């Protein structure tokens, strides 16, 4: 299981999975109804893709999301650290 904590890391994970399946960005996009350019932006961590788009892409790549509490350094306040 790979831990992903940022858009960029998620994009790298998706790119790796797509490559392992032997799919081009165009082919992956066609499977989920998005353009090659959108796949490229998602893989670079530069897209604000809708959640349903990400779930369709994850399914096409045989991936799933597992939600778990994240560890925070001692003294860190509430809120995002993206």
Q: What is the pTM of this model?
A: 0.81
Predicted local distance difference test score (pLDDT) of residue 57: 97
Cα–Cα distances in Å, from 49 out to 20, 29, 56, 64?
A: 22, 13, 11, 16
Q: Name the band, by pLDDT with cuts 50, 70 and 90, for residue 39.
A: very high
Residue 61 has pLDDT above 80, yes or no: yes
Report the chain's mean pLDDT, rounded to a whole number: 89
In this structure, what CATH number is given to the domain that contains residue 33? 1.10.260.40
Tally of domains in the chain:
1
Domain enclosing residue 37, as ranges? 7-60
Q: Is residue 44 part of a domain?
A: yes
pLDDT of 27 reads 98
Average pLDDT of the residues in 20-44: 97
Q: Is the pLDDT of residue 3 over 90?
A: no
């Amino acid at each position: 299981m790979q831990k992903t904590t940022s858009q960029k890391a998620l994009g790298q994970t998706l790119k790796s999975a797509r490559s392992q399946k032997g799919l081009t960005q165009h082919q992956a996009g066609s499977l989920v109804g998005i353009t090659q350019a959108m796949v490229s932006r998602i893989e670079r961590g530069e897209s604000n893709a809708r959640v349903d788009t990400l779930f369709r892409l994850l399914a096409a790549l045989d991936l799933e999301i597992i939600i778990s509490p994240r560890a925070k350094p001692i003294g860190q306040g509430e809120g995002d650290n993206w």
